[in-house]
Amino acid sequence: MTPWVPLEANPELFSEWCAALGLDRTKYAFHDVFGLDEELLATVPAPVEAVLFLYPLTPATEAEREHEDVAPDADLLWFKQTIGNACGTIGLLHAVANSRARAALSAGSPLATLLDEAQSLAPEERTRLIAESQALQQTHANLAAQGQSEAPAAEEDVDLHFVAFVRSASGALIELDGRRSGPVVRAAHVPEGGLLPATAHFVQTHYMARHPDAVQFNLMALGPAV
């Protein structure tokens, strides 16, 4: 399929994406995470239901991705990314589908319908839903054109990638990345309400520490609307 124009890491745009597809924005929205120390994490509206993380792709991250194990979980809804530059929308799907925000979707809305249908399908079959969803494609295109910076062309090779972090029903920290072959367990147990600090710790030690010269990191948290 033709690549999509990538989404800008902008919580206002990501909140608009959710609202356009059926999420009650009076209940949930995305918020900037301005820093990873305890004081700045505490300023993010809680409880955090999901975290979106943007990081630069490097030869090291790509090699590591090929060798990391995945742990399929029937309680998690995972989508494979088959469309270039669609990682922002895949991350948004993962964030809403696997958090309590899903309960705030309007019945019959495009996103509620897509997630309900995807639930009974095998992962490889879910890619069809994304490819055939005009609402998903149009919303992505509309918001990609509204960023504060000039969007790159759809055909441009973008070396940044979005993944989502959620807390599973069993309390594990899960990374959901459409370019892998399924969910990855990053910590066996995260306390209730501890998703954001657990994610911050993991990305600091796993991604940032290994690439100290990289600066294109960004975190956004899905939490209560304020």
For residue 64, what pLDDT is reported?
76
What is the structure's pLDDT at 2? 84
Q: What is the pLDDT of residue 154?
A: 45
Q: Which fold has domain 11-224?
A: Ubiquitin C-terminal Hydrolase UCH-l3 (3.40.532)
What's the per-residue H, E or C state across the chain?
CCCCCCCCCCHHHHHHHHHHCCECCCCEEEEECCCCCHHHHCCCCCCCCEEEEEEECCHHHHHHHHHCCCCCCCCCCCCCCCCCCCHHHHHHHHHHHCCHHHHHECCCCHHHHHHHHHHCCCHHHHHHHHHHCHHHHHHHHHHHCCCCCCCCCCCCCCCEEEEEEEECCCCCEEEECCCCCCCEEEECCCCCCCHHHHHHHHHHHHHHCCCCCCCCCEEEEEEECC
Where in the chain are the domains?
11-224
Active-site residues: which are they?
A: 87, 161
Chunk the chain into consecutive blocks of 10 residues (it has 226) and report each block's average pLDDT, rounded to whole numbers.
89 97 98 96 98 90 72 82 95 98 98 97 93 96 78 59 96 94 93 97 92 85 96
Please state the pTM of the whole predicted model.
0.93
Q: What is the pLDDT of residue 153?
A: 47
